[in-house]
């Protein structure tokens, strides 16, 4: 078989000009490890997983760093970074004044994943 520029060989493009990939450099997340109950629950899940398969140890993250990633984004220009920071600061200020956020929050989550797969 002859492979010419742009054809696939083994699932990857051969001979095609490389395009600069813009990689994500910022993520927005909700830290969930501020709750001792959440950390305890994560430790319990980790313990159960390790009883099933000790080989899973490498895939587990420290419960104290637990968070839910909301958005992963690439912010290349300094203006974009400053706008994102301002938006997050505004959100933090707004939510600090909202007493409803002091109450427990129940979420239903789907499609959870991690970056070490």
- State which residues of the chain have pLDDT below 70: 1-19, 96-105, 112, 114-117
Helix H or strand E encompassing 8: strand 8-9
3-state helix, strand, coil in the chain (%, to 5): 40, 15, 45
HSE, CB side, 13 Å, CA atoms: give it for residue 46. 15
Q: Residue 98, Cβ neighbours under 10 Å: how many?
A: 8
pLDDT at 42: 92
pLDDT recorded at residue 18? 53
Give per-residue pLDDT as tens, 30-52: 788 888 888 999 999 999 999 99
Burial label for 26, CB within 10 Å (0-12, 13-18, 19+), is middle
| Per-residue pLDDT at 20 | 72
């Amino acid at each position: 078989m002859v492979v010419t520029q742009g054809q696939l060989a083994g699932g990857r493009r051969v001979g095609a000009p490389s395009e600069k990939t813009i990689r994500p450099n910022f993520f927005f997340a909700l830290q969930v490890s501020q709750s001792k109950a959440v950390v305890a629950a994560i430790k319990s899940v980790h313990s159960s997983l390790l009883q099933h398969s000790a080989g899973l140890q490498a895939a587990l993250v420290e419960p104290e760093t637990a968070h839910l990633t909301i958005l992963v984004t690439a912010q290349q220009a300094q203006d974009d970074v400053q706008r994102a920071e301002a938006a997050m600061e505004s959100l933090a200020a707004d939510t600090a004044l909202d007493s409803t956020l002091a109450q427990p929050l129940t979420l239903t989550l789907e499609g959870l994943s991690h970056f070490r797969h």
